[in-house]
Amino acid sequence: ETGVTQSPTHLIKTRGQQVTLRCSSQSGHNTVSWYQQALGQGPQFIFQYYREEENGRGNFPPRFSGLQFPNYSSELNVNALELDDSALYLCASSLMSGQGDNEQFFGPGTRLTVL
Amino acid sequence: DQQVKQNSPSLSVQEGRISILNCDYTNSMFDYFLWYKKYPAEGPTFLISISSIKDKNEDGRFTVFLNKSAKHLSLHIVPSQPGDSAVYFCAAQRNYQTGANNLFFGTGTRLTVIP
């Protein structure tokens, strides 16, 4: 069973640039969620994709956007980067079956630094 | 608006003793609670969970207690081991008949187990 993988591991960008982060979900999972973890904080929900459609969104502006592909892998795109976007970006996959609780499995994250 | 709170940023415990990590929540719609453990440079790893219909769940050295009336849960680790040293996040999930099954995280407690 392959776990959740993310790329790249680290990334440095400058203010105003655009960035794309990638995530491969765990085998058999159909749902991908993205979280932002700022230094000293807990992960904050950005959005979730289920069967290639956005299924929910946290309190993040529209310059944060995403995609989910037919193989359930996903991208997070951030436009017009700001200094406060510097954080660890975590991807989590799960199998949403409508049965209630669903454990989410996290990747190792991408550390984004905006200068 | 922090709906899940961990008021102790850090905790130090002697090896072999009990570690108790606490978590409070404000949203009465939460019906599933999880604890994640995070090492540096890794994503959060699921540790143990509890449904709102239970008040206790045990898995080996780890026990989670839920007090719904107080909106409080705690994680007990007995006996504590040096390998338990990590940041522990409390997370909560709403009943997601529709919409995302995203997690709401606390800010984490850094546990240090002293040999």
Question: Going by C-beta distance under 8 Å and a sequence separation of 6 or more, which residues neighbour residue A93?
Answer: A4, A23, A25, A26, A29, A31, A32, A33, A72, A104, A105
Nearest to A47 by CA among A106, A107, A99, A92: A92
Number of helices (H), then strands (E), belonging to chain A: the values are 0, 11
Share of chain A above pLDDT 90, in %: 75
The angle subtended at Cα A53 by Cα B90 and Cα A33, nearest 5°, is 20
Residue pLDDT, tens place only, A52-91: 999 899 999 999 999 999 988 999 999 999 999 999 999 9
The pLDDT of residue A115 is above 70: yes
Section B65-69 average pLDDT: 97
- Whether B36 and A106 lie within 8 Å, measured CB to CB: yes
Confidence of residue B97 (pLDDT cuts 50, 70, 90): low
Residues comprising chain A, all counted: 115
- Whether A107 and B45 lie within 8 Å, measured CB to CB: no
**B44 touching chain A per CB within 8 A:** yes
